[in-house]
Structure 1
Amino acid sequence: MSKLRFHALKEVFKREPVDVEIPEQLSRLYNSNVFSIDTMQEYLTQSAFKYIVAAKEKGEKIPRDVADQIAAAMKEWALSKGATHYTHWFQPLTGTTAEKHDAFFNTVGNGKAIEQFNGSLLVQQEPDASSFPNGGIRNTFEARGYTAWDPTSSAFVIDTTLCIPSVFISYTGETLDYKTPLLRALQAVDEAATDVARYFDRNVNKVQSTLGWEQEYFLVDSALFNTRPDLQLTGRTLLGHSPAKGQQLEDHYFGSIPLRIIRFMQELEVECMKLGIPIKTRHNEVAPNQFECAPIFEEANQAVDHNSLLMDLMTRVARRHNFKVLLHEKPFAGVNGSGKHNNWSLSTDTGENLLSPGKNPKKNLQFLTFFINTIKAVHDYGDILRSAIASASNDHRLGANEAPPAIISIFIGSQLSAVLDELEKVTKGKLSPDEKTDLKLNIVGKIPEILLDNTDRNRTSPFAFTGNKFEFRAVGSTANCAEPMMVINTIVAHQLKKFKAEVDVLIEKGLKKDEAIFNVLRDYIKTSKSILFEGDGYSKEWEKEAAKRKLNNLKTTPEALKVEMLPKFMELFVENAVLSETEIEARNEIKLEKYSTLIDIEAQVLADLARNHIIPTAIRYQNKLIENVQGLKEIFNSSEYKSISKEQVDLIKMISEKISKIKVGVDQLLSEMEKSHAIEDSQKRAEAFANKVKPFFDSIREDVDDLEMLVDDEIWPLTKYRELLFTK
């Protein structure tokens, strides 16, 4: 194994940057491999084009004869791009994307063949669904599942395949993917937000949820990656002593990007442009060999598809540059992990951002309405927001020194906090003329000025307001954005419905519309105060303060997933037609099973590394020391020998102690793992893996990492942190 390590290092030192063909203007490539609105207009009849625009903008159904026209046009366009196959591209609950390719090619008799693709094939495909997670929805023998075209997201060509974004449902009709509940949540927030937005502008007919994600990731050379079984099988290093230099100097952050990395980024951006992914930003992140890219904001469904596609693209492009992309939230201990900040907002079909103040009190009141309702939604449903980003990998990151804690709170800045304090003092009921004037001029009217200077972005906050959007910072880098987006839009939709009902009741009682809105908002400010926090989310004091405020600290995935089954949260999704009870139960089962399986895999890999790589290497080095000590005994007299051999004898003892502790720790780990396997209840089994199995990881690692500093570097079997993080 040590030979493999040094061979890999030699390979890395020979690497040269891969040449990338870069056009003068990336904008010329934008959407070139996408069946975009402009392309549709070129290829479709005017009638068919109107139908697909209505489907995209209003969710209207497309008749089957029109689907045939669209399929024919899509096929001709795809063939012009070199496509030979088509697939329904979907996002099952595995956490990755999925696709089954079928050729356009079809025989027609007499030894002849044609390229064929019709509306039936466009609208629906039937993949074998027996191996996809279903959470007990169906029996294994009921293998059928259906993918159905999502016309709201654009089709695209990768290599020689036409990819058709699709939803995935079971034979019995339940959802088996991330996209379907997201689409339902987007519809719910559209209806609820439109109703509220029309208090301020009767011309609003649609509200879109927008998303701008920020994708963090690590890059390591593929040769070094292949020397680490833990990286290959779990996505993170289960062992490894921190190097003397990590990120203490913060010299990597926004630093000069190494040439090999730049070439990777350039090719990634070229491929993104072709597929309509509007990548805008690239830079070094805080940890060594950590980077980030981010796009321009898009409609949430399209943005989710683009992020899933980006993660696939990163892997493809990295391979050509002899890199491996690490998307795990915490691939290296002791340095920053990776997140995927979800920047969320709402925008109208009249071109307004509902979380941005305007130039007059009316627009500012609109801003306050959606701003305060979002705070209220997170206050009431923060725990389900925490469960939306729960995973075995994100548990390593949350609460560390670069990520927000597991306690859900909201940061809005001291200036906006002061505004809410003033609004809380507003008189209940009807307002006097003086009160109205003061409210509009001195509180509501000054909001744009306040936000102009409100640039502080509390990095310890899991959910922060950052000027014209909320940034959900707790989302993990491996996550599918659909889950947190589904939850945010559902809870906000639910809250906006309640808000409108309360305001309408006050209006019916004789209050004017603005007065009714202020009355309800004032009550929300009072009842939601506990979720607002401006301080250090990493501090122990905040944990104590959060407990006083009755904010839960759900530190592990099993704890976070347990709340999904509470009636309050189940009713939330059922009432808003986002998920049925059966779907909620199934998804919860899938997440718990995935958690237990991932911890189980890590435990087995750790045991293998400790038993078959670390302990034998330590014994081999120990034997060399023993031989040397025995040689000293033959050369020197007893008094000299004791003095000269003391340090080596102590080292032999230390190695023996470490080997013993590792052996005992691994035995206990495997014993607890077997006990956990025997638990039938999925919630209790996940809790056992979290509380009984996982704690051994740290103790075993500590002893192995100590050995790494004792054993000869020339024979250490695993590529070290200094090599993984600093070899360019």
Structure 2
Amino acid sequence: MEKVNIPEIFAEDVFTDAVMQQRLPKSIYKQFKKSIEEGKDLDLATADVIANEIREWAIGKGATHFAHLFQPLTGVTAEKQDSFITAPKADGSVLTAFSGKELIKGEPDGSSFPSGGLRATFEARGYTVWDTTSPVFVRHDAAGTTLLIPTAFYSYNGEALDQKAPLLRSMQVISDSSIKLLRLFGNTTATRVAPSVGAEQEYFLVDEAIFLKRKDLIYAGRTLFGAAAPKGQELDDHYFGTIRQRVAGFMKDVNEELWKAGVTSKTQHNEVAPAQHEIAPIYANANVAVDQNQVVMQTLKRIACRHDMKCLLHEKPFAGVNGSGKHNNWSLVTDKGENLLEPGSTPHENKQFLLVLACIIKAVDKYAGLLRESAADPGNDHRLGANEAPPAIISIFLGSQLEDIIDQYVASGSASTSIEGGVLATGSSALRDISKDATDRNRTSPFAFTGNKFEFRMVGSRDSIASPNIVLNTIVAEAFDDASERLSNAEDFDAAVDALIAEYAKAHKRIIFNGDGYSDEWVVEAEKRGLPNLKTMVDATEVLGDADVIALFNKYGVLSPTELKAREEVKYENYGKVINIEALTMIDMATKQIIPAVIKYTKSLADTVLAVKAAGCDAAVQAGILTEVSELLKETKAALAALEQVTAEAAQQEEGKVQARFYNEVVFKAMDALRAPVDKLEMIVDKEAWPMPSYGDLLFEV
């Protein structure tokens, strides 16, 4: 097997800062870096020099085309590829060129992407703008090699039509607010604070040949029918288990591709459900982390095809086993390397950390509904709260050490002690006793403190992590600004800090919960505390219309009221379209595959009954099965007719929230009603007669 030298191949396909220093004239490099640090426009003359060097570097990697890579409100990336060739010369030859203007600005069609009414169909112009803080890179695939330039996407009128533009705005906001707070604590050296993000990505792998026999997986990304396999995840033997060789080969290729693309792929393992796995990188600045997570998802899908498999990123591709999420690990780090969420060995004495913590607690409590909305997705409705993922109720896990400090502040207005971790005695002379952390972990909490960061575990596996980070950056920035204003003129700063921490702790302690977030008791307790329980995407999307949410985003310039309203409309429209596709797929499968197969099977049963009776034997068992199958077939046909009717009615509903709620409350229930008898039939009908692969085939044939 060919050996892989990670340092040698890492970021070889990225136009890194080191490559820039090597290839660019010093004056150009300094001017470029200065433009980023000061947030100033890059002049075209400088951009032309940079673009030419990028072109030469990319062509040296085999690139023939370039594309602005952007993230419209479709949930996936988009790109329009152009070759480097220029117009033919008089002698028929061509040259290659790439200008600074082409590097900085692109003009994709803006009319065919979701805009929530911001753009009419005939208003087609849109602009992509280079994000100079996220490096360009090349991608190698069946199309050859393409230079990809991370960009933001705007309408002709300047509205953000994507995820990156508001993310970058929110990053500036949290940086400014953090610096303001740090100055009060005497920090005069930090000039920027960036949200540091790491996204743990879960996914399923299934055999491609089996996948192609399932219309529901092809059209909807999840199984709309399917009886449970005899074995699922009951034995907990897949989690962290030995990785199958076919999957291991896939993971090896994924890692190499990601390392070459500068993605710090770190962790890989089997997840809880059969055929489920996880990959996780080391942290990066939020906008780079968002870009790289899109690269991760694309790479997983592309490499899976190379291994005759399909990668499923849907949050709940299979009923009865765990779905997939994406844990968004978030912290705040200064340009000097200080993590604002590092508690230190004696956190009760770390007033800066405690105030930062108190502000985050306040922000999450105040905007719990908005944070929940940031993870709202049609697929996530199947997963959240399903005894496998955080419930739809936002709460914060702090652990025993920090919760004890918060309790001290609530009781007395200050804290004087910190619970220590102690020692774990192994009980064997062959093993060393080890030091324990001061607190346990809680895998049922949607927003958990995990040492020096918060882990938001609610995000769906195929969603962009931009949305939750936009929300976290903005709501925490507001809390920081409020605290800075309160403390700016304090006569006794330390006393004022203690008083503010105590005030926030008392006012927002209801959001802190260290117990079992999966339990029914927590749902009841959360309701008593007044915490929102937004169970569906439709419920959560309504939050975007709240006056305080509109005012928050408008105040900080992250999303204008018009841009926010557009996103609300896109969310409702997306929900309706997803459920409509799923309903039509069920109708298609039931009409063309399932019912004909069952009818054919009943004929076989009827012939068997007649043959057994003709032979003079008792055919009661065969007749009983025929009766049971016929009854379920009748139930299936009735449920199919009902689904067809309500799906047609859904199209007549007023577009937007009304239609989305109809799909949620009426069509979705009709889909469940159709699935129930079909799944029962699958357990009775001869496997050879059943028209599609089973869960057992899908989950255990990789």
Give your verdict on TM over 0.5: yes
CA distance in 1, matches of 2:546, 2:74: 24
Residue 547 (structure 1) aligns with:
527
1:473-532 Cα offsets, whole Å, 9 max, x none, are: 000101101111111111111111111111224x0xx3x111111111110000111111
Question: Does residue 688 in structure 1 map to residue 662 in structure 2?
Answer: yes
Residue 493 (structure 2) aligns with:
513
1:546 partner letter: A
The equivalent position to 1:122 in structure 2, one of 88, 100, 103, is: 103
Residue 489 (structure 1) aligns with:
473
Check 1:621–1:359 CA distance in 2 against 1; reply closer, same or farther (3 A cut). Answer: closer
| Contact 1:127 1:147 survives alignment (8 Å) | yes
The equivalent position to 2:116 in structure 1, one of 128, 135, 154, is: 135
CA distance in 1, matches of 2:561, 2:436: 44
Moved more, 357-366 or 389-398: 357-366
Moved more, 320-329 or 368-377: 368-377
The equivalent position to 2:43 in structure 1, one of 63, 80, 83, is: 63
SS in 2 for 1:718: coil
Residue 202 (structure 2) aligns with:
216
The equivalent position to 1:523 in structure 2, one of 494, 497, 503, is: 503
Residue 130 (structure 2) aligns with:
149
CA distance in 2, matches of 1:213, 1:533: 23
CA distance in 1, matches of 2:139, 2:628: 56
Residue 393 (structure 1) aligns with:
379
Residue 32 (structure 1) aligns with:
12
The equivalent position to 1:278 in structure 2, one of 249, 254, 264, is: 264
Residue 278 (structure 2) aligns with:
292
2:532 partner letter: N
Question: Does residue 233 in structure 1 map to residue 232 in structure 2?
Answer: no
SS in 1 for 2:328: strand
| Contact 2:421 2:438 survives alignment (8 Å) | no
Question: Does residue 242 in structure 1 map to residue 222 in structure 2?
Answer: no
Residue 6 (structure 1) aligns with:
none
Check 1:363–1:118 CA distance in 2 against 1; reply closer, same or farther (3 A cut). Answer: farther
Question: Does residue 162 in structure 1 map to residue 147 in structure 2?
Answer: yes
CA distance in 2, matches of 1:289, 1:56: 44
1:189 partner letter: I
Provide the aligned length of Structure 1 versus Structure 2.
685
1:407-459 Cα offsets, whole Å, 9 max, x none, are: 111111122111111122335xxxxxxx8xxx5xx337x68989962352211
2:481 partner letter: K
| Contact 2:233 2:321 survives alignment (8 Å) | yes
Greater percentage in helix: 1
Question: Does residue 624 in structure 1 map to residue 598 in structure 2?
Answer: no
CA distance in 1, matches of 2:349, 2:567: 40
SS in 2 for 1:714: coil
Percent identity over the alignment is 46
Offset at residue 55 of structure 1 (A): 3.8
Offset at residue 46 of structure 1 (A): 1.1
- Give 5+ residue unaligned stretches, structure 2: 424-434
1:629-684 Cα offsets, whole Å, 9 max, x none, are: 12233332xxxx6xx22222221111111111111111111211122211114101
1:125-166 Cα offsets, whole Å, 9 max, x none, are: 111122111110021111010111110100001122110100
CA distance in 1, matches of 2:421, 2:232: 41
Question: Does residue 253 in structure 1 map to residue 239 in structure 2?
Answer: yes
Moved more, 108-117 or 675-684: 108-117
Residue 655 (structure 1) aligns with:
629
Residue 167 (structure 2) aligns with:
182
| Contact 1:561 1:588 survives alignment (8 Å) | yes
SS in 1 for 2:205: strand
2:130 partner letter: W
Offset at residue 553 of structure 1 (A): 0.8
Residue 365 (structure 1) aligns with:
351
| Contact 1:330 1:336 survives alignment (8 Å) | yes
2:286 partner letter: A
The equivalent position to 2:646 in structure 1, one of 669, 672, 676, is: 672
1:718 partner letter: M
Offset at residue 194 of structure 1 (A): 1.1
| Contact 1:359 1:448 survives alignment (8 Å) | no
1:289-316 Cα offsets, whole Å, 9 max, x none, are: 1000000111111010000011111111
Offset at residue 84 of structure 1 (A): 1.2
Check 1:452–1:274 CA distance in 2 against 1; reply closer, same or farther (3 A cut). Answer: same
Residue 517 (structure 2) aligns with:
537
SS in 1 for 2:299: helix
Check 1:55–1:307 CA distance in 2 against 1; reply closer, same or farther (3 A cut). Answer: farther
CA distance in 2, matches of 1:345, 1:377: 15
Question: Does residue 474 in structure 1 map to residue 458 in structure 2?
Answer: yes
Moved more, 696-705 or 520-529: 696-705
Check 1:52–1:84 CA distance in 2 against 1; reply closer, same or farther (3 A cut). Answer: same
CA distance in 2, matches of 1:35, 1:51: 17
Residue 54 (structure 1) aligns with:
34
1:194 partner letter: I
Residue 8 (structure 1) aligns with:
none
CA distance in 1, matches of 2:62, 2:339: 40
CA distance in 2, matches of 1:415, 1:22: 48
Offset at residue 177 of structure 1 (A): 0.6
SS in 1 for 2:112: coil
| Contact 2:573 2:655 survives alignment (8 Å) | no
1:696 partner letter: A
The equivalent position to 1:96 in structure 2, one of 70, 76, 96, is: 76
1:155 partner letter: V
CA distance in 2, matches of 1:493, 1:376: 11
Offset at residue 80 of structure 1 (A): 1.2
SS in 2 for 1:106: coil
Question: Does residue 76 in structure 1 map to residue 56 in structure 2?
Answer: yes
Check 1:448–1:56 CA distance in 2 against 1; reply closer, same or farther (3 A cut). Answer: farther
- Map residues 574-593 of structure 1 onto 2, 5 A cutoff: 574-593=554-573
Offset at residue 361 of structure 1 (A): 7.2
1:350-404 Cα offsets, whole Å, 9 max, x none, are: 2111100236779721211111111111000010011111111111110112101
| Contact 2:348 2:405 survives alignment (8 Å) | no
CA distance in 2, matches of 1:659, 1:448: 61
| Contact 1:186 1:489 survives alignment (8 Å) | yes
1:464 partner letter: A
Check 1:209–1:369 CA distance in 2 against 1; reply closer, same or farther (3 A cut). Answer: same
CA distance in 2, matches of 1:89, 1:362: 46
CA distance in 1, matches of 2:272, 2:15: 38
Check 1:448–1:172 CA distance in 2 against 1; reply closer, same or farther (3 A cut). Answer: farther
CA distance in 1, matches of 2:301, 2:202: 14
1:456 partner letter: D
TM-score (norm 1): 0.92
- Give 5+ residue unaligned stretches, structure 1: 1-20, 428-434
- Map residues 312-391 of structure 1 onto 2, 5 A cutoff: 312-358=298-344, 364-391=350-377
Offset at residue 697 of structure 1 (A): 2.1
The equivalent position to 1:502 in structure 2, one of 486, 490, 498, is: 486
Offset at residue 73 of structure 1 (A): 1.2
| Contact 2:347 2:354 survives alignment (8 Å) | no
SS in 2 for 1:281: strand
SS in 1 for 2:184: coil
Residue 431 (structure 1) aligns with:
none
1:533-569 Cα offsets, whole Å, 9 max, x none, are: 1111112211111111111111111100011111111
CA distance in 1, matches of 2:655, 2:403: 45
| Contact 2:401 2:439 survives alignment (8 Å) | no
| Contact 2:184 2:488 survives alignment (8 Å) | no
Check 1:118–1:362 CA distance in 2 against 1; reply closer, same or farther (3 A cut). Answer: farther
Check 1:424–1:306 CA distance in 2 against 1; reply closer, same or farther (3 A cut). Answer: same
SS in 1 for 2:478: helix
CA distance in 2, matches of 1:326, 1:379: 34
Residue 7 (structure 1) aligns with:
none
Residue 428 (structure 2) aligns with:
none
Check 1:344–1:448 CA distance in 2 against 1; reply closer, same or farther (3 A cut). Answer: farther
1:202-243 Cα offsets, whole Å, 9 max, x none, are: 222111100011000000011111010000000001111101
